[in-house]
Structure 1
Amino acid sequence: MRNIVLIGMPGAGKSTVGVILAKALGMNFVDADLVIQERTGLRLQAIIDRDGPAGFLKAEEEAVLSLSCRNSVIATGGSVVMSPRAMEHLISAGTVVYLKVPFEEIEKRLGNISGRGIVLFAGQSLRMMYDQRVSLYEQYADITIDCAGLDFETVVGQVLLCI
């Protein structure tokens, strides 16, 4: 089976849905954020603090390009769509599923975003980041799952119906 690649905003539930989905399908699970941390030896926020958003995006791209998974559910970081090279690599390796969550729900789930390893450029608000990325998620998605108000198990069920 080809890989299943989960994309979406930070707080959309990619990692949680990914683990449950991988178990349901008997697939491996890969968390791209953990791959970044393993490769750099740093937490995500420490990379952003040290190298800035551009440095983080470079580390993320390198980590994603290093992946050579099969039969895996891959939970990506929310900013992976900022790299066309990383997305081309992921698209070539599997089916891309966008977990679409409304802004208000993302805002509630994230709460205080400082220290969470979320890439925000200078002067960029969470709303601005959301608006910037939504069109990219939609562009790259093979499948879009509307997750508004759904629990993780229901989201997994929706993904299973669509793949």
Structure 2
Amino acid sequence: MKTNLTLIGMPGAGKSTVGIILAKTLSMGFIDTDVLIQINQQKSLQEIIDAGDYMHLRRIEENEICKLNITNHVIATGGSAAYSEPAMRHLQTISTLVFLNVDFEEITRRIKNFDTRGIAKADNQSFQELFAERQILYRKYADTIITCSDLDQEEVAEEIASTYRNKM
């Protein structure tokens, strides 16, 4: 049985915050792959993009995810993790993937630091184009989709926890 839960979704969907609440609720460990990257690279995500480009960040992210060898954890991924087939296949073998689906209007309301947040996207790509592109990927890999726009973070975590408990 897969003992990890992996949260996927757009920046601003609440993966990190919901992940922490969910880990406490289910008495699991918690890991945020964005934080893991920043610790191992000794740079912020934006600094990594600025020093190379967004594809460099995606390669680092893929490498960090593929190295994960953990059990009984909630894993919050970066928003661009879904671009990596090897990373997503690895996550599928070790965890149940949960897509935190938040509509475009709510994401844009939540994200105030779009240009400095370290979002891995092409320079000429609008946030709306990025959103549309990623929705397809998140749905492709998700075992479960949680519609989050009308729920607070505790309600999202509880919905995931009750779904997860029922599958155990």
Give your verdict on TM over 0.5: yes
Alignment partner, residue 91 of structure 1: 92
| Deviation of 1:148 (Å) | 1.2
1:162 and 1:26 map into 2 onto residues whose CA distance is: 15
- Paired with 2:42 and 2:69, the residues of 1 have a C-alpha distance of 20
Q: Aligned AA for 2:130?
A: M
Quote the residue 1:117 is aligned against. Answer: 118
Q: Number of matched residues?
A: 163
SS of match in other structure, 1:145 = strand
Structure 1 window deviating more from structure 2 (77-86 vs 108-117): it is 108-117
Kindly state the Cα deviation for residue 159 of structure 1 after the two structures are TM-superposed.
Answer: 0.6
Tell me the alpha carbon deviations over residues 29-74 of structure 1, each in whole angstroms, 9 at most, x when there is no partner. Answer: 0000011111211110000101101101001111111111100000
Q: TM-score normalised to the size of structure 1? A: 0.97
Secondary structure at the residue paired with 2:98?
A: strand
Moved more, 115-124 or 135-144: 115-124
Amino acid at match of 1:104: E
Please list, as runs of the form range in 1=range in 2, the aligned pairs for 1:136-147 lying within 5 A after superposition.
Answer: 136-147=137-148
Deviations 1:104-140 (A, max 9, x none): 0001000230110111202101100000000100010
The aligned counterpart of 1:127 is: 128
1:46 partnered with 2:47: yes
Structure 1 counterpart of 2:110, one-letter code: R
User: Whole-Å Cα distance in 1 between the matches of residues 142 and 148 of structure 2?
Assistant: 14
CA distance in 2, matches of 1:162, 1:135: 23
Structure 1 portions without partners, runs of 5+: none
Q: CA deviation at 1:162?
A: 1.7
Q: Residues 18-37 of structure 1 correspond to what in structure 2 (within 5 A)?
A: 18-37=19-38
In structure 1, C-alpha distance between the alignment counterparts of 2:105 and 2:46, rounded to whole Å = 23
Q: 2 CA distance for matches of 1:101 and 1:12? A: 6
Q: Give % identity.
A: 45
Moved beyond 4 Å, runs of 4+: none
TM-score by length of 2: 0.95
> d(CA) in 1 for partners of 2:137 and 2:121?
16
CA distance in 2, matches of 1:70, 1:93: 8
CA distance in 1, matches of 2:138, 2:103: 13
Q: Secondary structure at the match of 2:97?
A: strand
Give the Cα–Cα distance (whole angstroms) in 1 for the partners of residues 7 and 25 of structure 2.
15
Aligned position for 1:159: 160
Q: 2:105 — aligned with what? A: 104
Question: Which runs of 5 or more residues in structure 2 are unaligned?
Answer: none
The offset of 1:160, in angstroms, is 1.6
